[in-house]
Chains A and B, each alone.
Chain A
């Protein structure tokens, strides 16, 4: 099953000017538990998916009350600087949609 079928919300957004935070909110408890157990959405799975090292991962949590997996990445440069490409950080979640869990 892919994340796009299991989640009701998949989003990315600035968390301050130096970080982008990602939220994957699952449709129900069963799908949330399945996602939490999936290596593809573990810390290591996320680093592999985006092709980055541990140094870029600011935080990673499973947030039970919202049935959500949430992680935050450091930006390569502050939001809106010259050469920057997503001022709001709003389109960085796309590769998560097709992850198999």
Chain B
């Protein structure tokens, strides 16, 4: 039933992937979507799910060839049809390196494809550690999320890199400046969709809800398929979502269940400057494949808080793999580990390094949450050593693994070694990083922490702000 909302011609946003470059997008449903003449082409390219390493070390987690594949498909289609294209959280983490890498790929593809000149906006989100430190030292309260305490100078000492998570405002500003292609640093997933809708004059509730429902592309539809395109048909107070793969359906159940995906609550989504309230959402089938959602609301907050994400290096890391099959040893694996740990402590003391035992076959996956106390008939123990230098990490790991072979257990029949070393070898892993910042900071204007650079691609260049 049509109410006062949902009047006029809908704005169509096509999104081909929920994490551009992570796995290559499927071109068929994307072409089908482009044939429906969308007004905007939008895709997110990042996630904090990949762990703290890519942000801390400032590396992508996906091969550039895959990122290029997706960017090239989107860019050529968007330029051919003359519609704006917006990419969020460039290169997995949205650091300055990621934005520059994507801008370079865009220029290279434009040249290879001989695209007519267009305007490229890069919006940078990386933060100076010194500037954040200065704010904390001056008494600014940088509030912890999800139960974390407020940010301290000690947290910052352990941090290598910080990005701020942009809302829609810097993107809207770039559209105002005539940007055809916008590469964003770290950005909130719904905001990259909300931005073009706000720019077109829609209300924040509709804009942010559309972003919320479209951010993961085909995950909103059933059956489960990744990397397929999804179209949003958006009018004031109404979002209709439609899968572009012919075998997928957006049903009230699939769309409602997506509202809670990867979020602690299905009722509220925090964005800088307010909260999207989804508690009164109504989900109804338009037909077999399309779902209409209405009833969302937006509550502005009294202050604008921007999320900060940061990661820092914990140390160099090594791994070793050790197996156990003797049932008497399997039953007493804690004693074996205690023996090995005591040997490491005798040499290195109890601090200044970390030694972790992952006991696959007992609770390697769930650790303290594992309710099943019965171990498997064989165990795989992954020994993980972390220390300030590679040498110490390797020695801690080697000793922590090899001493399991020498564990002294009463009444063990096997007297030639208590462990099966998969290889008597320490594996050098990449360094260990930790999420050190998961906080919000109050700002006076939503654009405050972000920097925009406008370039003309394929013609003369000029820089702006």
Contact = CB atoms under 8 A, between A and B. Distances in A.
Q: Do A and B bind each other?
A: yes
A49 to B, nearest CB: 6
Contact of A66 (B256, B369, B371): B256
Given A61-B265, A63-B266, 8 more contacts: A15-B262, A18-B146, A18-B147, A66-B257, A67-B253, A70-B265, A80-B434, A95-B372
Given A61-B265, A65-B256, A82-B432, A52 B368 contact: yes
A23 B261 contact: yes
A73 B365 CA distance: 16
Interface stretch (B25-33, B50-58, B412-420): B50-58
A36 interface: no
A95 B365 CA distance: 12
Interface string B355-382: 0101000001111111110000000000
B53 to A, nearest CB: 7
Contacts of B317: 82
B50 to A, nearest CB: 7
A19 B369 contact: no
Nearest to A88: B49
Which range contains the number of A residues in contact with the other chain?
35 or more
B58 to A, nearest CB: 15
B406 interface: no
Contacts of A73: 369
B51 A79 contact: yes
B368 to A, nearest CB: 7
B253 A85 contact: no
A85 B257 CA distance: 27
A61 to B, nearest CB: 7
Contacts of B252: 65
B51 to A, nearest CB: 3
B438 interface: yes
Interface string A44-85: 000001111000001101010111101011101011111101
A17 B262 contact: no
B308 to A, nearest CB: 12
B145 A18 contact: yes
Contacts of B432: 81-82
A92 B314 contact: no
A50 B369 CA distance: 5
A87 interface: yes
Given A21-B262, A66-B253, A81-B435, A51 B371 contact: yes
A14 B256 contact: no
Contact of B264 (A58, A65, A95): A58
Nearest to B355: A83
